[in-house]
Structure 1
Amino acid sequence: MYVVHNRIEVTPEQAASFEETFSASMRATLAGVPGLRRSLLMRPTQPGHPYVSTMEFDSADDFRAWMKSDSFKAAHANADAPGMQAPSAIEIFDVLEDFSA
């Protein structure tokens, strides 16, 4: 499995509109993406911490294909959407162990 985290710094004033816009975009653009296992948007529990968007793909190739897809283009089409101009940091991981209780 290939996991991508995007840490997105959103101001408190933009938080509600960011959550609504980002969640709607996920629902509209991610259904049927080949190799995508799941996508999460996580709200920070402490002030000043970033939101985290996590995507789990079957492989790095699936992730790279998504980045070239119409789905990716649609998800990132509105540069004025809340949070789209926010500083972010991408982290990419290969999963070594996946334990479910």
Structure 2
Amino acid sequence: MFINFLLITFLVAMVLRLVLPALLRWALSAFVKRQMRKGGLVFGPNGNPFAAPPPSGGPSHSGANGQVRVDYVPPTAKRQPDTNFRGGEYVEFEEVK
């Protein structure tokens, strides 16, 4: 009975040792490809996701290179001084060497 348990445990461990790395590699690559698709990064014809994408017919830049266009500037909050602060207590400090 004990030998059967050890044999089955050994066989399961060996199968997991052979199958688990391939399964994890496949799952991780599928996850990375899905996240890259969500982020707009698509593999090119040569498989390099970091190659420059081909030019598209999207919106063109109306400004010159190096110019920044700001569409929205949030309003600044007017800061009021804290009138409840009456000052603190001075504590002498000695530097210990």
Both structures adopt the same fold (TM-score exceeding 0.5): no
Q: TM-score range by the shorter chain?
A: under 0.3
- The higher radius of gyration belongs to 2
Q: Counting helix residues as a fraction of each chain, which structure ranks higher?
A: 2
Q: Which has the higher strand share?
A: 1
Larger RCO (alpha carbons 8 Å, 6+ apart): 1
> How high is the TM-score relative to the length of structure 1?
0.20
